[in-house]
């Protein structure tokens, strides 16, 4: 943690400027969003803020994905909010349908069961396809073939801070594969067998695990998964990392088991475990300088009033103060980020 504290965003900015001067070529990167026509207002809100705080200067393309064709109204309204290129992409049907090896009855039972016990969106068919697409398909879409990095944006999220550097360049220059800015506990009832399947995978394919992989922050004293995860509705990452055989084999392994349908495997724990297994710990980056909100989860960088329009909470301050994990100031769901900061 001491070392982490010294790495402040000014260093990041300076490094980026040096790299910009050396290498005038822009990273091949895009802002991507899976979104429905009905979420037009929400995505306009997210777009306005990200354009205002960052992309109006950097001009990265937006790529919108949908399993249904985008409406003319959707296209016109979103195109109007950016001067960068915009693409509207249909998801191939085979990327958004239940595979033939999934048993229909078991699947329907799981929708009933998770719905009844109150797992969030546990009863929704579309949510299962969405999680599976975000886990194993987004990086396979032909439109992304010419891109190396992506920034995932959802409707109705908030960006609070001016971002005066290029996070894509930052990833590229520092050999990072994944950037997050929130790290939370998810409802473990949505993926009861995910950890067992992951352990099986590691045992079957020890050669695929990165020699500097560090799963300590994800595993408790009993050797069980602690359910911490990068909150994947915000992520800035390397497409090539996800396209590599390690992640592909892991995704296929989970998919063949049917966990996207018999359970509600989320893309967040899967991305988290994949990054932890197939990349060194230092290849993931906490973008703590990017103020962000998704529903009730919010991250506001302290001491950044000059560039952020949010109010830091105790939790935000605590990231920097290194209060003990047991302290009453730490709430249980906030322990994940400290686990990550504290290990390795």
Q: What mask of x and - would describe binding to Mn ion in positions 224 to 253, judged by CB under 5 A? A: ---------x--------------------
Closest among 215, 343, 223 to 272, alpha carbons compared: 215
Question: How far is residue 84's CA from residue 252's CA, in Å, rounded to a whole number?
Answer: 35
Phi then psi for residue 206, to 5 deg, are: -60, -30
Name the residue with tokens 């067998």: 193
Write out the two tokens for 225: 């998964």
Long-range pairs, 323-332, Cβ under 8 A, ≥24: 332/185
Is 154 among the residues that bind Mn ion (CB under 5 A)?
yes
Choice between 236 and 283, CB closer to Mn ion: 236
Burial of 153 (0-12, 13-18, 19+ CB in 10 A): buried
What are phi and psi for residue 180, nearest 5 degrees? -135, 170
Min CB(229)–Mn ion separation in Å? 14
C-alpha 138/C-alpha 5 separation (Å) is 34
Instruction: Check: CB of residue 221 under 8 Å from CB of residue 339.
Output: no
Active-site annotation holder among 173, 235, 246, 263: 235
Q: Give the C-alpha separation, 222 to 227, whole Å.
A: 13
Q: Is 317 a catalytic residue?
A: no
Q: Select 131 or 176, whichever has its Cβ closest to Mn ion.
A: 131
The option from ligand GDP, Mn ion, none interacting with 26 (CB < 5 to 8 A, set by class) reads none
User: Cα separation of 41 and 158, whole Å?
Assistant: 13
Q: Which is nearer to Mn ion, 71 or 297 (CB)?
A: 297
Shortest Cβ distance from residue 298 to ligand GDP (Å)? 14
Give bridge partners of residue 86 from the DSSP assignment: 62
Q: Looking only at residues 30 through 89 of this chain, which bind ligand GDP when binding is defined by CB under 6 A?
A: 34-36, 39, 66-67
186 binds ligand GDP (CB under 6 A): no
Site size with ligand GDP, rule: CB under 6 A: 11
**CB of 6 vs ligand GDP, minimal distance in Å:** 34
Pairing of strands 297-299, 292-294: antiparallel
Which is closer to Mn ion, CB of 89 or CB of 154?
Answer: 154
Task: State the nearest-atom distance from the C-beta of 235 to ligand GDP, in Å.
Answer: 12
Which residue in 16, 46, 198, 233 binds ligand GDP (CB under 6 A)?
233
- State which residue, 30 or 130, has the beta carbon closest to ligand GDP: 130
Q: Binding partner of residue 272 among ligand GDP, Mn ion, none, CB under 5 to 8 Å per kind?
A: none
String of contacts with ligand GDP for each residue 109-138, x by CB under 6 A: -----------------x---x--------
Q: Cα 2 to the chain's mean position, in Å?
A: 26
Least distance from C-beta 259 to ligand GDP, angstroms? 16
Q: Is there a contact between 214 and 337 (Cβ–Cβ < 8 Å)?
A: no
Which residue is at the shortest CB distance from ligand GDP? 126
Which one, of 240, 235, 303, 308, lies nearest residue 267 by Cα? Answer: 235
* Closest CB to ligand GDP among residues 231, 250: 231
**Sites for ligand GDP among residues 289-308 (CB under 6 A):** none
DSSP output for 263-310: S---HHHHHHHHHHHHS-GGGEEE-TTS-EEETTEEE--TT-TTTB-S
| Residues found near ligand GDP in the complex (CB under 6 A) | 34-36, 39, 66-67, 126, 130, 154-155, 233
Q: Active-site residues: which are they?
A: 235
């Amino acid at each position: 943690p001491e070392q982490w504290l010294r790495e402040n965003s000014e260093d990041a900015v300076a490094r980026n400027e040096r790299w910009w001067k050396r290498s005038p070529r822009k990273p091949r990167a895009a802002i991507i969003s899976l979104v429905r026509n009905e979420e037009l207002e929400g995505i306009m809100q997210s777009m306005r803020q990200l354009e205002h705080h960052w992309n109006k200067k950097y001009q990265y393309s937006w790529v919108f994905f949908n399993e249904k064709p985008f409406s003319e109204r959707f296209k016109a309204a979103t195109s109007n909010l950016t001067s960068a290129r915009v693409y509207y992409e249909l998801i191939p049907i085979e990327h958004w349908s239940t595979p033939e090896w999934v048993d229909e009855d078991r699947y329907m039972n799981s929708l009933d069961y998770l719905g009844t016990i109150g797992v969030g969106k546990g009863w929704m068919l579309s949510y299962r396809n969405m999680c599976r697409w975000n886990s194993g398909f987004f990086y396979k879409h032909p439109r992304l073939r010419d891109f190396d990095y992506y920034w995932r944006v959802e409707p109705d999220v908030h960006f609070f801070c001016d971002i005066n550097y290029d996070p894509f360049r930052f990833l590229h220059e520092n050999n990072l594969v994944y950037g997050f800015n929130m790290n939370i506990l998810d409802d473990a009832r949505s993926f009861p067998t995910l950890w067992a399947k992951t352990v099986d995978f590691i045992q079957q394919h020890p050669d695929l695990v990165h020699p500097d992989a560090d799963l300590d922050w994800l595993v408790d004293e009993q050797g069980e998964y602690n359910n911490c995860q990068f909150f994947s509705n915000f992520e800035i990452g390397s497409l090539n990392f996800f396209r590599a055989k390690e992640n592909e084999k892991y995704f296929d392994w989970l998919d063949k088991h049917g966990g996207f349908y018999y359970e509600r495997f989320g893309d967040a724990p899967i991305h988290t475990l994949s990054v932890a297994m197939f990349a060194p710990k230092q290849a993931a980056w906490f973008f703590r300088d990017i103020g962000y909100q998704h529903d009730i989860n919010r991250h506001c960088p302290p001491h950044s009033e000059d560039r952020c329009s949010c109010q830091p909470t105790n939790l935000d301050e605590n990231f920097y103060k290194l209060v003990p994990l047991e302290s009453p100031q730490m709430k249980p769901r906030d322990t994940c980020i400290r686990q990550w900061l504290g290990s390795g």
